[in-house]
A = this chain, B = another copy of it.
Amino acid sequence: MPGSLEKLIEALRCLPSVGPKSAQRMAYHLLQRDRPGAQQLADALADALVHIRHCQRCNTFTENECCERCASGKRDASLLCVVEMPVDLNMMEQTHAFKGLYYVLMGRLSPLDGIGPKELRLDRLLERAGDGVVKEVVMATNFTNEGEATAHYLSELLHARGLKVSRIARGLPVGGELEFTDAGTIAQAFYERRDY
């Protein structure tokens, strides 16, 4: 196999869940059927590596020092919502229910993958939340084991700094029927019931 083809196949394996077979198939596809696409991908990668960095305030991807949302000044700076990834931030924004600011962890605590508080740079979140303006931190990490552990760990650190910490609710989905909901979710909805 030519050297540059071998290198391309090896390089494609840096993509998540791409093994040797997929990498080979991708390389053949690009070189045989979509050279313009391959060129665009090479350019887009190089361009993104140069321009994309993390927002100084909320840690999401941006091309500027500070992302538009953090820079706008139109949001409620006393509320800080912590999410795992930019995609979670987008989902939250689509609800139009939250008018505060965000902090994007860019991951979650995951000891098995070697991602601890240091790798997630939780010190930066603590610094951000301790700016004197933030009054309440809303934990909106996922309800997976790792997301829950991250929320729990963070809540203790933030409590110790005298901040109010809350967690988005678990329960039945809107329009949900008990008959088609798993027992764990129903149990949580019961424990977290609210006064009428």
Q: A residues within 8 Å of B by Cβ? A: 1-5, 7-8, 10-12, 14-16, 24-32, 34-35, 37-52, 61-63, 85-87, 90, 106-107
Contact = CB atoms under 8 A, between A and B. Distances in A.
Contacts of A90: 1
Contacts of A47: 4, 7-8
A1 B38 CA distance: 23
A37 B11 contact: yes
B62 A2 contact: yes
Contacts of A40: 11, 14
A86 B85 CA distance: 40
A73 B38 CA distance: 34
B11 A52 contact: no
